[in-house]
Amino acid sequence: MADFNFDKYWEDYFKDYYAREKERQQYQAQNNPGQYKSAYSGIINDYRGRIQNRKPFSYDPFSDPVYQQSKKAAEENGRLAMQNTMAQASALTGGYSNSWASSAAQQSFNGYMRDLNEMIPELSDAAYRRYAQEGQDLYYILAMYENADQDDYNKHRDAVADYQTMLSYLTNRADTAYSQGSDRYKTDFSNAFNEYQARQAAEEAAAKLAWDKEKYNRDEAFQREQYEYQKQQDAAQMAYNYAKMYNNVGGNVKVASGKTAGGNGQSKSITKQVADELTTRYAKLAAKGAVTREDIFSLIDEYERAGYDTDELFELFKDKLEKTKGSSGGSNRGGGVNRNQAK
């Protein structure tokens, strides 16, 4: 039975939720007012800086353009008065200048300059009034921009409030659709899963019955196979016993020195090169099919006749001879090897 999979119906229960959630996300992306950004912050900061950085009032007539203008006029008028006084004095003396005329002319000039100095307090008051008015103008302009900025901020807060109200409405509507879809899904899922479990229990019971029947048949067949196999093993063992008897009677007898009778009494140890050569020749035989004990004995006979140590040859093929016990080929094909070593 296929695995129970009800998730594939998930979207069918949440179509309304997906539609309303999409609408909520679109509204949020398109209508979010974001953070308030003042259009007047730069100019407001500029005027606040001007106010904070204003120097205290002080009056310097030499830097006052009104005083400088009055001074220029007083000097001009003083020079004219001097000239007039000198002309009048010269007329009285017949055209001759004298010290009295010069003194009278200088007094006329000094009178204008004295009048100028008497104007300084008035000029200072006028300069202070201008300083104060300038300060008031700065505060007025600053207040104007601050009020405009506050109006913009209030409008932004109203927009944020409207946005949050609408977003809350859309969120609640999407949440409600999700809850309704989830409840329907859970109910239908529970019903479908109970039906699935009932079908699965029935199928498992039927499968168990079929399995028990098949197991009984397999056990019975296995017992028959074991019986036949044991018969074959007994026959093979009997054949092996006969082969051992033949080898013990028909093979040459190994002398105590480890060499075959009739040899020259000298043997060579198997080097790594010879061992690798024998391993390669065995692998080639195995590649052609199952290697019999007769095949292994042939290799041992060949290298024994070449003068290599018989014990070392048998030790090299010890594991392979063990694996081929009971295979055909127990006769000595002309070598001097005692087959009893391969028991």
CA dist 173 and 20 (Å) reads 7
CB 104 within 8 A of CB 135: no
Can you give the pLDDT at residue 116? 73
Q: Single out the residue of 111, 121, 110, 130 nearest to residue 61, CA to CA.
A: 121
CB burial of 45-73 (b: ≥16 within 10 Å; e: otherwise) equals eebeeeeeeeeeeebebeebeebeebbee
Which pLDDT tens digit goes with each residue over 16-25? 999 999 999 9
Place of tokens 């009997």: 238
Domain spans of the chain, in order of start:
7-190, 269-342
Query: Which pTM value belongs to this model?
Result: 0.42
For the chain, what is the mean pLDDT? 79
Share of the chain above pLDDT 70, in %: 73
pLDDT interval class at 142 (50, 70, 90): very high
As given in the structure block, the two tokens for residue 137 are 């103008």
Which of 66-70, 99-103, 108-112, 338-342 is predicted with the least confidence, judged by mean pLDDT? 338-342
CB 173 within 8 A of CB 18: no
pLDDT interval class at 342 (50, 70, 90): very low
CA dist 78 and 75 (Å) reads 5
